[in-house]
Each structure stands twice: as C-alpha cells, then as structure tokens.
C-alpha cells in the first residue's frame, strides 16, 4: 500500500512535477488553515456583538459560508497529499502489494475524475453567472461567480495532487 507520509522529503524530489505541485498544495493548505483562524475570530466577534452588545453582525453567516467553501476546497488537496483524508481501509489494508498498488492507482484516477467533474461544472456555473451578471442574495451582495472561484482552484489542486499520487503509484517498485 502506498503511504504518502513515508516518502522522501520535498527537498529530495525532482523539481517538476513533485516540488511545484507539493509546494502549491502545501501553500494552499496553509491558507486553508489560516482561514480556520479567521473564521474562529469572526464567529467569536459575531457572538460577542450579538450576546454582549445586543448588536448582531448581519453579514457574518454569509461570509462564514463563503469562507467554509474556500477552506474545504483549498485544504482538500493537502489532506490528500498528507493522507489525512477520510478513508475506509478495512479491505484495502488486507491487500497484497500488487493489489494495493492497483487500488491506489484506481483511487487516484477516481479522484482525478471527480476533480474534473466538479471543476468543469463549477466553471460552467461561473461562466453563466458572469454572463448573466447575477449577485448574491444577502447582506454582502457580491457577484455570484466570486465565491465559486475557490471551488475551481480547489478542483485543480485536487487533480494535481491526485495526479502526482497516481504517478508515484505507477512508478512505485513492487516489493
């Protein structure tokens, strides 16, 4: 079974594609982590204003929703890279090296297909929203395509991370 955490460090990896993709995925994962702190501060401020000052923030829930989508989409590829994603390994842990490699190739390919489907459908939605000139309903009132951009970015990152994982699975020497 391919364990992403047991690999050599990024510094030992070839420049392309490993270092570039890994660096980009890690950077966006760091942004996702920072956004968790931003949301925590924002929610704490909103709760304080609502319950201690009696003056609720009108735009808070909408902004938290946008930031949540951004956090998930920017962090998904990093979770995949680190092997921290949700996995059910009851059956895969019992696979031999050859079947484990086949399973890893299949899983990476499936993730890539998923990323393409999400990316293309979101891109179509963004194109429609831009052509139509639609704005969000709520207190923030921004063009609806803007909060969808992180979904496309996250889909590209997820595709790249899964592609790198696929490449490593294919290049892995059977034991």
Q: What is the pLDDT of residues 86-124, one digit of tens each?
A: 666 777 777 787 888 888 889 899 999 999 999 999 999
- Alpha-carbon distance of 103 to 164, in angstroms, equals 15
pLDDT digits (tens, 9 = 90+) for 1-29: 444 444 444 556 566 688 889 999 999 99
Q: What percent of the chain has pLDDT over 90?
A: 53
**Is the model's pLDDT at 51 over the cut of 50?**
yes
Nearest to 161 by CA among 28, 32, 68, 33: 28
User: Which tops the pLDDT comparison, 174 or 117?
Assistant: 117
Mean pLDDT, range 145-152, rounded to an integer: 94
User: Which tops the pLDDT comparison, 101 or 77?
Assistant: 77
Residue 95 near residue 88 (C-beta atoms within 8 A): no
Task: Give the pLDDT confidence score for residue 3 in this predicted structure.
Answer: 43
**Is the model's pLDDT at 77 over the cut of 90?**
yes
> Which ranges in the chain belong to alpha helices (H)?
20-51, 60-82, 97-132, 149-171
Return the SS3 of 129.
helix
Q: Is the pTM of this model over 0.95?
A: no
- Alpha-carbon distance of 171 to 75, in angstroms, equals 26
């Amino acid at each position: 079974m391919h364990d992403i955490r047991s690999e050599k460090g990024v510094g030992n990896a070839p420049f392309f594609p490993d270092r570039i993709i890994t660096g980009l995925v890690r950077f966006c994962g760091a942004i996702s982590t920072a956004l968790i702190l931003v949301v925590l501060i924002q929610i704490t401020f909103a709760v304080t204003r609502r319950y201690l000052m009696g003056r609720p923030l009108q735009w808070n829930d909408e902004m938290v929703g946008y930031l949540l989508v951004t956090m998930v989409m920017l962090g998904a590829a990093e979770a995949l890279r680190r092997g921290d994603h949700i996995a059910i390994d009851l059956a895969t842990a019992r696979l031999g090296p050859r079947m484990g490699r086949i399973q890893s190739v299949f899983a990476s390919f499936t993730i890539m297909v998923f990323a393409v489907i999400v990316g293309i459908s979101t891109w179509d939605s963004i194109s429609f929203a831009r052509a139509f000139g639609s704005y969000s309903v709520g207190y923030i009132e921004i063009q609806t395509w803007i909060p969808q951009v992180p979904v496309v970015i996250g889909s590209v990152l997820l595709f790249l991370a899964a592609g790198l994982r696929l490449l490593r699975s294919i290049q892995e020497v059977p034991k």
